[in-house]
Structure 1
Amino acid sequence: MPLDSLDRSTPAFFRQGLSSTLKLILLGALSIGLMFADHRLQMSQPIRAALSMALMPLQWASLLPGRLVDATGQYFQGVESAQDAQLKYQALTISQAQRLQRVEQLEAENTLLRELLSLQAQHPTNSKVCEILYGVQDPYSEKLIINKGSLAGLQAGSAVIDAQGVVGQVTRTYPMRSEVTLLIDRSQHISIMNARTGVRYVAQGLPNSMGGALELQYVPTNADDQKDDLLVTSGIDGVFPAGLHVGRISMVDRKVNSSFARVLAYPASERKGRHVLVISPASKEARS
């Protein structure tokens, strides 16, 4: 190859432009100029707005998992808070219902006590208000135990009444307790009078009839006794004062082949309260 055909220019590897220091100075000046122009003229604001709009879906997608986690946690926290609030509300409702029941019970007891006190005012010297402690668990008798006995002046044979009428009779006394046999006990007999007709009878307890009833003894078939007639104490037995409510006639069965009618009555006393009034026998009061 002829020598004059060779390329004698400097290779690109050995070519050098501006020095690195000069490039740094120029680029630094350009950066300062651009920053100054952007600060003064807001040249990059449209570019930033466009980039912000373009990157918004990406930002929303990147934040979505965290938001879902937060929303799930808030949901379960809200469910737990709602359950706790429901339990507290139920407990409060039950507590308020119990308080309301106690208030209603106290109001009923106060009403019955007022009625007993009004009855006691009619027998100021020979009556005492007593509390029912419990009922005797005996399938063959109907009895109660009250909280006063012989030390309080109670004596066997005393009448026991409540606001509705006759409950029974004191049949046994102890120093601090007394036993009351209910009017519906089979061993109990009481002299009564039909308040409408004025006819007197003797009633016996029937514990197994109508949940506890009274049967009038030896009632003639032609007697003028009707359903719902009021029966009161006659006072001639010397035990119960006259005029106390005993019950109302619930059934009159006049049989053709019998000389006596079968007359049943339900007792006036329902023993709703915890207190009763004990009245000393009328005969002993008269002797005193």
Structure 2
Amino acid sequence: MPLGTLDRTPPPFFKQGPSALSKLMFFSALALFLMVADLRFKITQPIRAAVATALYPVQWLALQPVRAVQHGGGYFTALSQARASEEEAHKKLAFQSLRASQVEQLAQENSRLRKLLGLREQLAISGVAAQVLYDAPDPYTRKVIIDRGLVQGVELGSPVLDEFGVLGQVTRVHPLVSEVTLVIDRELAIPVLNTRTGERSVAFGEPSAYGGGLELRFMGSNSDVQKDDLLTTSGVDGVYPSGLPVAKVDRIERRAESAFARIYCTPQAKVNAAVHVMVVKPVSGGELPPPAAEPVGPITKGGRK
């Protein structure tokens, strides 16, 4: 048989369906459609919650060797360091005992003054203790994952604290775990109050400053801000309780060509080493009393009757 008459096409038995180019175009269009649908309609949120719930036991098992190594290293801590820590703890305990003896008297005076001035009582803070499991895998954000979720009563937007100050805010909640955006993330902003001057401002996350910090923006170049000024939550946003430590002013740059100063701050919380945290319910989550109703009546020329 001449070679020119041979059929060089594969038999039908070995045909694999559509071509590779057709498959590439189809799956590319499907991926683009799913990304747009997820962005607009959040269709993958239940899937994320289910996957996070299913992977939680695997994450827990994977973290056990790391915790075992950490606990083993802590067990072999030098005795001198342990004694130094004990002495420091005794000093702090004595100082706290001295201050605690004055708390009850100050609380009573505060309550009497508020009643005298007709001010409402401060809101009680309630929260849930949690532990940081690991950092979020996204390298472009500063987030951590904690071991409390919807089952434990964690709400979206809840402030998260450590023993030193505000650590961040809950930005995603799953049934068993939650995602916390740290205060140094560029997408987080906190209304703050300068305890020395009483001036309010907003602190924005600045992850590129000294490995992670905050920045006071839109502050005039002649504003009364000094190094080591303590910034606390102002409470005007209805999310963070007032008076929580947020940061200290670290560096101030005043430029003649700019009307605003560049003010960099260091967070009070241990954003890179937090282990045990407290998740506090948002102030606006049903705890704020309703505003007083205005008197209703016909309006006259001189005002309301």
Note whether the superposition's TM-score is higher than 0.5.
Answer: yes
Query: Could you tell me which residue of structure 1 aligns to residue 270 of structure 2?
Result: 270
Q: Which amino acid aligns with 1:220?
A: G
Q: Give the number of the structure whose residues are more often helix, by fraction.
A: 1
Matched-pair contact (CA < 8 Å) for 2:172–2:180: yes
1:248 aligns with 2:248: yes
User: Does the 8 A contact of 2:167 with 2:269 survive in 1?
Assistant: yes
Aligned twin of 1:139: 139
Q: How far does residue 102 in structure 1 lie from its aligned partner after superposition?
A: 9.1
Please tell me the residue identity of whatever aligns with 2:128.
K
Corresponding residue for 2:205? Answer: 205
- Percent identical pairs in the alignment equals 41
User: Could you tell me how far 1:208 is from its partner in structure 2?
Assistant: 1.1
Which of these residues, 51, 75, 79, is aligned with residue 99 of structure 1?
Answer: 75
Structure 2 Cα separation of the partners of residues 97 and 149 of structure 1? 30
Equivalences for 1:75-224 in 2 at 5 Å? 99-101=75-77, 126-224=126-224
Q: Note the C-alpha offset of 1:186.
A: 0.5
Distance 1:146 1:124 in 2: 24
Could you report, residue by residue, the CA deviation over 1:220-265 in whole angstroms, capped at 9, with x for unpaired residues?
1111100111010001111110000001000111111111101000
Report SS of the residue matched to 1:151: helix
For structure 1, the 5+ residue unaligned runs are 1-95
The 1:204–1:102 alpha-carbon spacing in structure 2 relative to 1, beyond 3 Å, is: farther
Q: Say if 1:126 and 1:285, in contact at 8 Å, map to a contact too.
A: no
> What is the CA–CA distance in structure 2 between the aligned matches of 1:214 and 1:140, rounded to whole Å?
16
The amino acid of 2:281's aligned partner reads: S
- 2:125–2:281 CA contact under 8 A, matched in 1: no
Q: Name the structure 2 match of 1:286.
A: 287
Contact 2:157/2:282 (<8 A) preserved: yes
Matches of 2:147 and 2:123, distance apart in 1: 20
SS in structure 2 of the partner of residue 224 of structure 1: coil
SS in 1 for 2:208: coil
Give 1:241's aligned amino acid: P
Q: Which residue of 1 aligns with 2:118?
A: none
Residue 273 of structure 1 deviates from its aligned partner by 4.3
> Structure 1 97/238 Cα, relative in aligned 2: closer, same or farther at 3 Å?
closer
Question: Which position in structure 2 is the counterpart of 1:232?
Answer: 232
What do the CA deviations read for 1:1-48 (whole angstroms, capped 9, x no partner)?
Answer: xxxxxxxxxxxxxxxxxxxxxxxxxxxxxxxxxxxxxxxxxxxxxxxx
Compute the displacement of 1:138 (Å).
1.8
Asked if the contact 2:123–2:287 (Cα under 8 Å) also holds between the matched residues in 1, the reply is no
Whole-angstrom distance in 2 between the partners of 1:168 and 1:99: 31
| Structure 1 counterpart of 2:67 | none
CA distance, structure 2, for counterparts of residue 98 and residue 168 of structure 1: 27
- Which residue is equivalent to 1:54? none
Deviations 1:200-237 (A, max 9, x none): 00111011111101010100111110011101000111
- Give the aligned residue type for 2:210: M
Aligned residues: 183
Give 5+ residue unaligned stretches, structure 2. Answer: 1-71, 101-121, 290-305
What is the alpha-carbon distance in structure 1 between the residues aligned to residue 169 and residue 74 of structure 2?
35
TM, length-normalised to structure 1: 0.58
The answer on whether the counterparts of 1:164 and 1:245 sit within 8 Å (CA) in structure 2 is yes
Kindly indicate whether residue 260 of structure 2 is the aligned counterpart of residue 260 of structure 1.
Answer: yes
Give 3-state SS (helix, strand or coil) of 2:209's partner: coil
Q: Contact 2:251–2:263 at 8 Å: present in 1 too?
A: yes
